[in-house]
Amino acid sequence: MFRFFKNKARYDRGQLFPYLIAILVAVLTVAMITVNLGQLGIFKTDASNAADAGALAAASTLSSYLLGIGFQSDQMCGIMLVEVVAIIIAICTVYGIPVAIAIYIALTIKQYVTYFKAMEDGKMAWSNAKKAALQYAFQNAGVDEPRPTFKSFLANVYGISDPDGLSPGQIIYYNRIYALGDDPSASESTRRNIKKYSQTGFSRFMEGSWYWDDGAWGEIKPGNIAPAIVTNGYGWNANGLNSFDAGSDDWGSFENSIRVQVMGNIMYPLSMYNPAEELWDNIKDWIEDKIVLPWWLEWLDDAMTFLIWPAASIMSELLPGGLMMGSGSTADLVNNTDNNHITVTVQRKKHDNNLGLWRFRYGTVQSQASSHTYRDTGDNDIKPMLFEDLAHFIGQLFSGGGWKYEWFDTEKHLFETELVTAR
């Protein structure tokens, strides 16, 4: 007996087992922490991606509008030139003055109609930009709402509580409807149930553009102005409840939710372009650059400005020839493009996930991104380029530069888009 215990005292096999247990516990703990941090990183990345996507989509919408307005401005400039030529030709005819007056009235009305339409389009541009921002932000927010199961679909739409009793042909038939999410041959009430129990609430929320109507501002139609700040959200629970089916604006009360806020301008301040005045300014600058008057004739410069500038201003009001941003100054253009940001804020809440060994605590994260349209070069503008290009062409011609010209270069109306801030 003594010998047995003596041998056991010197027995060293199995000494590593306690250390192995400790190492396994440490490895599992580190692994769970790493997985948790990775899940949190993905969670925050989804919110960040959503804000970035929404902001860039909004800026792209505004850029497309500015390009279209530039084309409209060029078109108005061409109409003005046609008007001037037609009036000159009409005056040379027998019944010239009445015909000239009729031509002037008709084409001038068309110019002002185009102007007021461009103003309305400017309102809708910002409304559409906010709508695009909401759409892309929601779509990229990482919604993980579970889809209704096939069994739930059969029970709630067709009252089939035992799917195992269906024939293979019936399973194929119902599964096709479940996959498509619709059955055109069914009644309206049945089709609504099919959509409800074959699609997630979020899919229907996005499909019907309900993200663009939270009841606060209503549906934005042409001629309306979207508010400077629009906010909408969507909430859901793991058990299938969601804010869309509940008709609730209290999406934040659900265990999972997304809140998107878009802040931006409400319209672009447009005004009629003054082609005659700018043409005179270009000619005057060219004359001052190419012709140096002696000191005793410098008074001619001031005299010509005093006499011609008012006439050019009156002519521009009588013959509108395009569009410009605000007063037409570079500062106005920069303030309404480069410095005019649209900001998207995405707030995402996710319920904790208990895996037994570790509880993933997500909570609420928020990301924000701002974007804008900006001028890639100093030439980008919405004003018509004909008179500027014509003055440049005349300057080249008289300076011996030849017959080279670049008229109606559409690239001068292009505006780039970029993220200004993202956090």
Q: What is the pLDDT of residue 367?
A: 92
- Rounded distance between C-alpha atoms, residue 2 and residue 79, angstroms: 119
Distance in angstroms between the alpha carbons of the first and the last residue of the chain? 75
**Rg for the chain (alpha carbons), in Å?**
34
Using left for φ > 0, alpha for ψ between -120 and 50, and beta otherwise, residue 326 falls in left
User: Residue 418's closest CA among 2, 5, 58, 13?
Assistant: 58
Half-sphere exposure of 342 (CA within 13 A, CB side): 38
Q: What is the pLDDT of residue 44?
A: 83
Residues of the chain short of pLDDT 50, as ranges, are: 1-2, 4
Q: What is the pLDDT of residue 59?
A: 95
- Rounded distance between C-alpha atoms, residue 264 and residue 336, angstroms: 11
- Rounded distance between C-alpha atoms, residue 116 and residue 106, angstroms: 16
Q: What is the pLDDT of residue 305?
A: 64
Q: What is the pLDDT of residue 392?
A: 67
CB atoms within 10 A of CB 197: 21
- Rounded distance between C-alpha atoms, residue 169 and residue 73, angstroms: 62
Environment class of 91 (CB within 10 Å of its CB; exposed 0-12, middle 13-18, buried 19+): exposed
237-259 burial code (b ≥16 CB/10 A, e <16):
beebebbbeeeeeebeebebbbb
- Rounded distance between C-alpha atoms, residue 193 and residue 198, angstroms: 8
- Rounded distance between C-alpha atoms, residue 235 and residue 238, angstroms: 10
Q: What is the pLDDT of residue 297?
A: 65
Residue with tokens 């990183």: 41
Using left for φ > 0, alpha for ψ between -120 and 50, and beta otherwise, residue 325 falls in beta
Rounded to the nearest 10 degrees, what angle do helices 150-158 and 188-198 cross at? Answer: 160
Contacts of 244 (CB under 8 A, 6+ apart): 201, 202, 204, 205, 210, 234
Q: What is the pLDDT of residue 340?
A: 92
- Rounded distance between C-alpha atoms, residue 243 and residue 202, angstroms: 9
How far CA 254 is from CA of 40, 48, 212, 233, 257, in Å, comes to 19, 21, 20, 11, 6
- Order of strands, edge to edge, in the sheet holding 363-374? 229-236, 256-263, 342-350, 363-374, 416-422
- Rounded distance between C-alpha atoms, residue 226 and residue 423, angstroms: 26
Is the dihedral angle over the CA atoms 313, 317, 323, 329 positive or is it negative? positive
β 229-236/342-350 pair status: unpaired
User: Residue 132's closest CA among 76, 55, 79?
Assistant: 55
Structure tokens at 316: 């521009």
Could you tell me the pTM of the whole model? 0.79
